[in-house]
Structure 1
Amino acid sequence: MKNLLIGVIGVIGVIGSIREYQNWKREETANYGQGWEQTKVLKESETLVGPYINEKQGFRIRYPKNWLVREDKTSTAFYLDNKSIQIKQISTNLNFPDYVDSLASGVIRDRDYVESWVILTFEGSQKALTQKSNKIYLITAATPAKNWNEYELTFKEVYKSLVIF
């Protein structure tokens, strides 16, 4: 009798586990290939044009279509309405990790490492840093916080297009 009871409980447990696995698998595969939930709110990247070449500062980059360009001695900015992307070569005595840590000392929403990029996301702005030999480049992207999801992918595509020479 005892063995029969243990056998029945075992069979019920196995059947329950199989049913639970089937439900779990259905839930997990329902949205397969559609990306993470947090990326579903992001709009597609705008079309990039260019490249824009800055011989003095030593870089080439693509930028969003219809955006205006403003260049001065130390930086280049691309802007449209209340959105902007600024590229600047940094002169510092700090090494790259220490310089990044000095920028990240405030309150940041996210710190991300993508290939040779360090991306710091603040409320309504993002700083992307990269280094080639002894040159540190800082790209600052800004837009009102409420519009961030509309332009985040565009900003990341701009970062990826940077070529330092």
Structure 2
Amino acid sequence: MACFGVAKAQVTGTTSVHVKLVDILALAVNNTDVNINFNTASDYQNGVSVPMAGHLTVTSNQAYTLNVKAAGNLAGTGVNTDVLAPTILTVALPTTGNNTTLGAVPTTVAGLTTTNAALVTGASPGLLKLVDVNYSVPSSISATTALLGKKADTYTTTVTYTITQ
């Protein structure tokens, strides 16, 4: 009996695979209240700083810029007509903790205003990236008439963060 080679038939098909990417950009403020309390003479002499670990969560598939601004003066409550200028506030991104992977050098915004000021420019893309923020009223402000002579009260403004790609 003789064996002969039998050629097998082969059929192929092709498809095109498309991967569509869209830009994503999200920002969440994880702690909606920040309390900077002046309780002692030492607080007025030395200023007060409040570190907020993981205060923001940023998602961006591109490099991004994170800005901060105040809505306006910090107003007292009730019949108190005293106000505190937003420039008393310093907002900073520390270079430690969650911020070590920002991929860009963060800055400090000393003297918050109603205009956007960059906290970091060209930060690396990331998903659900926690960002640490420090809020403070430094001693160069707290020991001046910016606070001294104001009525005892809780003064409030809204701080807004904005990210752009």
Structure 2 length as normaliser, TM-score?
0.25
TM-score, structure 1 normalization: 0.25
Query: Structure with the greater relative contact order (CA < 8 A, sep ≥ 6): 1 or 2?
Result: 2
User: Which of the pair has more CA radius of gyration?
Assistant: 2
More helix by share: 1
